[in-house]
Structure 1
Amino acid sequence: MEARPLKNGGFSYRYHPLGGKPIPLGRDYANACRQVLDMIGQNDAMGTVKWVWDRFTDPDRPAPRWKKMADGTRDDYRLAWKELDKTFGKMQIARIDSPMVARYVNIERAAAPRRAAIEKSLLSNLCRHGITLGVCKTNPTIGVETPPTEPRTEAPDPGVLRRFLEWLEKQTPQRRIIGMGAEYASLAGNRKVEFLDLCWPQVDRPPAEIRREILAGRVKLSLGEIRVKRAKQRGKKRGEVIEVIEITPQLDALLDRLEALREERGVDCLYVFPTRDNNAYSARGFKTLWQRSVLLAIEEKVITEETRFTFHDLRAYYTTVHKREQGKLPDLHANPATTARVYDRNKEVKRRAL
């Protein structure tokens, strides 16, 4: 193995097989050593689940399936791996069978059925990649049922949501932005991943003078629209479905407050919901600040443990109110049945008799 110094510091590594061309190994020394041991057949860990995981997530040559995953899915899988590694990490992947998977999912992880389903999904992906690498022949997760998980059934109470958002508006600038992000999700129904990097050029609004005329009813024009890419699209539609959200008076007022906060900072920031240093929030950073805000709100008795809600519940709030006010479900998924099953939390369904 050869180490080649780089101009900007560090090394790149490559392996010289006898009588062959050099094989690049990347810049990570430990990973380069593992690759060499694999090639000469002296890696004792070869064929273990940990060995497959390292190749599935290899920073230089990741598995095609890992490469296509969204950052949020990758974070979920990294968290799932920490649990899988405890049970299966040192085990040869070819020795895992369906009864082992069934016991792990339904007995060992019975207390966390949702996490168990994600861990089973990761193990399935690792087995598929193991087949590609030639270290196992079958996928033992196929046919193994996971404990049923019921979607949440309660949407945030409007009064509780309003009180929480009003409290956030009086907090630090970054908590105010988190609160306005929550308000946006409740009004537009977008996922976090769809609006965390929302930029002002995606917000198309008439000038302030015309908007005032529209809101006063003297001009019959639209208040504008917001264009975002729909997340969780597969195949050819990946990144191609654009959601065009009509701006309502409530959403227009929220955008005015966001612009006012932007002017307070005195920086011409590109992002609608910026971090302290005027960049887009990462999913993890936004989630951390949201959870801290919720815990502080509970401590100050703004909300209670019984009335607290998840950020994703705001999407259900939007769906529930939309159906109640508009009489139909919003277009959130390619399959409307998914929207109805997961997000519609109305307890009363109205219809007209003949």
Structure 2
Amino acid sequence: MTGKKLEGTRRRQSDTIPKHIDQSRLPKGVYFDPRGRGRWYALSRDGAGRQRRSNIADAQATLSELHRIMEQRQGIDRETLRYLADQFHQSAQYKNLEVKTRKDYDYCRDLALNMPTKLGKPLGDLATRHFKPALVQRIVDKIAAEGTPAKANHLLRYLRRLFRWGINRGYCDSNPAQGVESAKERRLRRLPELDTIERLTAFARERGQRSRGEKGACAPYLWIVMELAYICRLRGIEIVTLTDANAITEGVMTNRRKGSRDNIVRWYPRLRAAWQAATDLRSRIWSARSTAIPTLPERRLLIIAADGGELRKSSLDTAWQRLIKMAIEEEVISKEERFGLHDLKRRGITDTQGTRHDKQEASGHRSAAMLDVYDLSIPFVSHPGDNR
């Protein structure tokens, strides 16, 4: 009789188990007793270690019902937002996402699941059937009202993706985040003045010469990154992935992202000086660390971390924020003059001489609409008519 089977032993196929059940998918600790009309039961151990039996369902129970019963016995509620999120974050669809997207989704999951509600329990413990567009809209509006509209929109996009995934796989019946209005974000298109850039670059260069750990020191590569961002009109990720292979006879071959076209920035004294400073800094770090130098040019990163390895974009962002904070505290720049590393690309595109076509070629943008986001120059135009 299958009722004599002990938990933890290997399950064998049994002719007494109802035919509509796939025995290979039975949850652990669930067994069938064919006596009488038949009963499903679970085996567990009490506090003294003695094995106990509990009847949990009749013979007509489906496989999904047995799984649901066992999950509830273990404190798992399949109907909650928490369960839906857990399933999504364990899925192949989530694992195939870019690292940056997964990191954003992880943040949004924690934000949603731990959000307090008037019911005295976190949002993650609410059943997904209780989620309506009005509830999601209130959540978005509340977060936006706290002065973080971008945070609200990140959460909204995550919920849309989460519920869509759940619908397609039978975890929920509707997508309450669909049709919810996004929070209005302020479009910051900062264009730092050249004098501000020069002051911050000089400050970064001076502080980068201080020993690591010394008070007031900053990453020694920051001023070089600033120069390359402005001169080559590059994003931060494009700078930290430059290698010796990008330095060709004619100039610097860019490695643009997001569908932009690559181009070659011709050598001139300022660009050569920045590139040489980067290679000199790299040589000093590798020499001090006795690092094995890669043979292939495409394996030799131009900008490296203090340990001689790859500099991650997140580390660059952290170093940049430290520099800005220190520069404001020491009144090198004011709070109003604060700008982001990406704004140096905008300044470089705006300062590019020539027509809009020339600027678009320099920026690598495939459309004039994208150029409008970066080119903040004001064109000079002629007056209408004749010269009278």
TM-score (norm 1): 0.74
Output aligned runs, 1:120-139, within 5 Å.
Answer: 120-139=156-175
Match of residue 79 from structure 2: 47
CA offsets, 1:141-183, max 9 Å, x none? 2221122223213311111111111111112366221221122
Q: After the TM superposition, which of the residue ranges 169-178 and 124-133 deviates more from structure 2?
A: 169-178
SS of 1:198's partner is: coil
2:196 to 146, 153, 160: 160
Output aligned runs, 1:130-279, within 5 Å.
Answer: 130-172=166-208, 175-204=219-248, 206=249, 222=250, 224-228=251-255, 230-233=256-259, 243-249=262-268, 250-265=270-285, 266=287, 268=293, 270-279=300-309
Per the TM alignment, residue 245 of structure 1 is displaced from its structure 2 partner at its CA by 3.0
Percent of pairs with identical residues? 22
The number of equivalent residue pairs is 295
Q: Cα 1:320–1:256, aligned 2, differ >3 Å: closer, same or farther?
A: same
CA–CA distance in structure 2, aligned partners of residues 39 and 248 of structure 1: 70
Output aligned runs, 1:290-309, within 5 Å.
Answer: 290-309=320-339
Q: After the TM superposition, which of the residue ranges 115-124 and 276-285 deviates more from structure 2?
A: 276-285
Alpha-carbon contact 1:165-1:179 (below 8 Å) kept: yes
Amino acid in structure 2 at the alignment position of 1:49: L
Output aligned runs, 1:83-102, within 5 Å.
Answer: 83-87=111-115, 88-102=123-137
TM-score (norm 2): 0.68
Q: Cα 1:138–1:318, aligned 2, differ >3 Å: closer, same or farther?
A: farther
1:67 to 69, 72, 96: 96
Q: Cα 1:89–1:299, aligned 2, differ >3 Å: closer, same or farther?
A: same
Amino acid in structure 2 at the alignment position of 1:50: R
Per the TM alignment, residue 38 of structure 1 is displaced from its structure 2 partner at its CA by 10
Alpha-carbon contact 1:203-1:227 (below 8 Å) kept: no
Amino acid in structure 1 at the alignment position of 2:283: E
Structure 1 unmatched runs, 5+: 1-14, 24-36, 207-221, 234-240
SS of 1:225's partner is: strand
CA–CA distance in structure 2, aligned partners of residues 22 and 199 of structure 1: 54
CA–CA distance in structure 2, aligned partners of residues 17 and 98 of structure 1: 48
Per the TM alignment, residue 332 of structure 1 is displaced from its structure 2 partner at its CA by 4.1
CA–CA distance in structure 2, aligned partners of residues 326 and 80 of structure 1: 44
Q: Cα 1:259–1:283, aligned 2, differ >3 Å: closer, same or farther?
A: closer
SS of 2:262's partner is: strand
Amino acid in structure 1 at the alignment position of 2:164: R
Per the TM alignment, residue 63 of structure 1 is displaced from its structure 2 partner at its CA by 1.6
Query: How well do the aligned residues superpose, as a CA RMSD in angstroms?
Result: 2.9
Match of residue 20 from structure 1: 24
Larger Rg: 2
Q: Cα 1:275–1:333, aligned 2, differ >3 Å: closer, same or farther?
A: same
Q: Cα 1:300–1:118, aligned 2, differ >3 Å: closer, same or farther?
A: same
Tell me which of the two structures has the higher relative contact order, counting C-alpha pairs closer than 8 angstroms and 6 or more residues apart. Answer: 1
